[in-house]
Chains A and B, each alone.
Chain A
Amino acid sequence: MSNIGGFKVNRNALIAAFLLVTVIAGGLYWNMSRPQTKESLIVSSTTSLYETGLLDALKTMFEKTHPEYNVSFISQGTGLAIETAKRGDADMILVHSPSQERGFLESGSGVNRKIFAYNFFIIVGPEADPAGITGMDPIGALLKIRGEGLAGNALWVSRGDNSGTHSKEKALWAATGLVLDEIKTETMEDSGTWYIEAGAGMTATLQLANEKEAYTLTDVATYLKNYKNGNIELVKAVDSGKDTLNVYSVIVCDPDTNPRGMFEGSMEFLRFLLTDEVQTMLVTYGEDEFGSTLFKPWLPELEDPDSVIAGWVEEYAYIDGSECPTQYRKEAAGLYR
């Protein structure tokens, strides 16, 4: 037994201490000695995009041709993703909420908004379809769900978190003519409300809907991923259409207000999203793994004068008649028509 600093230690304790110190010191050294020469590009995005793995795929592709950058994605709720960018903690945002994107531009935080992909929201529900909404249009389906909900036959789960998906849900309820704040609190006989307001991300919300055998609105990508993983058994009840369009945009943080100074790198990433390589990749992304593609490229629609989708997108996701109003464009040669 030795006496070190007042503690009585024996051989085992000495060996253990030595091992701990070696491991910690080794870890510190290894961490510090890695070359830190890459420029860090921080993209603030939403959980819906992140959870599908698309962002990781984009990162790999981008860094191959732009090895000087290290792209990091912060995946948060839409509201927080925008807030993060406003506070100067990110260089650009990838989101899917046109109303909140407008606010971002108008607050002077962002420039060069560009749509790069789209897909559809879908209503999913239990296979038995107690509300009988399969194949209906989304507005009709929601009305029917509410009807059956009041009767105690169906449940509806909402994201309840001001996300892009939640914004879409609110817009759909508005189109039914019902007042959301009122119907949210409608109760069934004695088993609570038929409208369940989770305050959670898409995957958690899907799991909740799955457990409760309820209906919910989801983007097709997150749904397919969870379905294929066996996390949920909900099935598609209401498919794509004009009302359920889901549009993904990228907005670069305004260099005049963002202290990070990565405008050039951000613009490189933005243009990268519009290359043939990425737009083509989107055509097949997810096919192998999920049996269906998760996203659709935007540029082919933009360039097709007869595109029906382009018409829908113009109506739903354009801001003051264009992808990005002219006062919010900066060094955007060739980006807009």
Chain B
Amino acid sequence: MSWGPIVEGIGEAFRLIVSGDRVVLEIALRSLQTASYATILATAVGLPLSVFIAMREFPGRRALRFFFNAMVGVPTVTLGLLLFTLFSRSGPLGWLQLLYTVPGMALGQAALILPIMVSFVVSAIESKDEELRDLVRTLGASETDTSLAIVREAFSGVSLALVSSFNRAFAELGIATMLGANISGVTRVLTTAIALETSKGELGLSFALSFILLLVVLGLNYVISLLREGTT
């Protein structure tokens, strides 16, 4: 009896995929959309920031590195709560009307994965030989060129950072719940849908959605790993 929901879930997942269930498709696409926006945003902010931290000496550098390392483990509900109070109508950023929207959720997830991005990339850059870094510094004509060169050299670590950040955003629940409220047709994503079906006692369906989520993660990561192998 206890294996029931899991077995039921596998069957249901198969059925949902094969029949191209529109609701599940919509939810899965929204998960991908939100996590992608978040990753792009976190990369845009995180890459330059990481290069800066890794390559420059400045007061508070160690503290900043420590801060980002520690924030990798921030509980999603806590971050979600903080952002909720900021984005709420009665909060300082309420005028942006980000609450209960996909951009709002993406922004929240970006904040969540930024520490992961920064920690990984800084680590990746610093693992490159000191001499290499100095070499790039001396050869580069401008700051931008140097930064780009460093990122290229450390690309293996950087791509790992991108993938890890995306995975984290895709599979998290706390931020999506607090900033999105799982609104049908607007902010419902795979993780919040799973939570809802679980609370309804629909364990089979929950498992089905979970399998689909895992399938997407595995599929995506496989494709990306092929990409990474193809680039040195």
Q: Does B186 contact A (CB under 8 A)?
A: yes
- Give the CA-CA distance A192 to B184 in the complex, in Å: 11
Taking CB atoms, residues of chain A closer than 8 Å to B181 are 198-200, 204-205, 207-208
| Cβ-neighbour of B184 out of A79, A162, A197, A205 (below 8 A) | A197
Q: Which of B37-45, B197-205, B220-228 contacts A (4 or more CB under 8 A)?
A: B197-205
Whether A79 lies near B200 (C-beta < 8 A) is yes
Residue in B100, B177, B186, B202 whose beta carbon sits within 8 Å of that of A79 in the complex: B202
Interface presence of B59 (CB below 8 A): no
- Number of A residues whose C-beta is below 8 Å from B? 27
Nearest chain B CB to A55 CB, angstrom units: 17
Complex interface: chain A residues within 8 A of B203 (CB): 83
Q: What's the minimum C-beta distance from B178 to chain A, rounded to whole angstroms? A: 8
Decide if B183 touches A208 in the complex (CB within 8 Å): yes
B188 within 8 Å of A by Cβ?
Answer: yes
Residues of B1-57 contacting chain A, CB below 8 A: 1-2
Known pairs A162-B200, A192-B185, A197-B185 / 18 extra A-B pairs, C-beta < 8 Å: A80-B198, A81-B201, A82-B201, A87-B1, A87-B2, A161-B199, A192-B186, A196-B186, A197-B184, A199-B182, A199-B192, A200-B177, A200-B181, A200-B182, A201-B199, A207-B181, A211-B88, A211-B100
Q: Does B152 interact with chain A (Cβ within 8 Å)?
A: no
CB of A199 within 8 A of CB of B99, answer no
Pairs A–B under 8 Å by Cβ, sample size 9: A80-B198, A80-B201, A81-B201, A83-B201, A160-B184, A199-B183, A200-B177, A204-B181, A211-B89
B186 touching A80, Cβ below 8 Å: no
Which secondary structure dominates chain B's binding surface? loop
When A208-B100, A211-B89, A211-B100 are in contact, do A197 and B200 touch as well, CB less than 8 Å? no
**Is A240 in contact with chain B by the CB < 8 A criterion?**
no
- The minimal Cβ–Cβ distance linking A328 to chain B, given in whole angstroms, is 20
Are B196 and A212 closer than 8 Å at their CB atoms? no
B31 CB to nearest A CB, Å? 15
> Which residues of chain B are near A153, meaning CB under 8 Å?
none
Closest 9 CB pairs of A and B: A77-B199, A83-B201, A79-B201, A79-B200, A199-B196, A197-B184, A199-B182, A80-B201, A162-B200
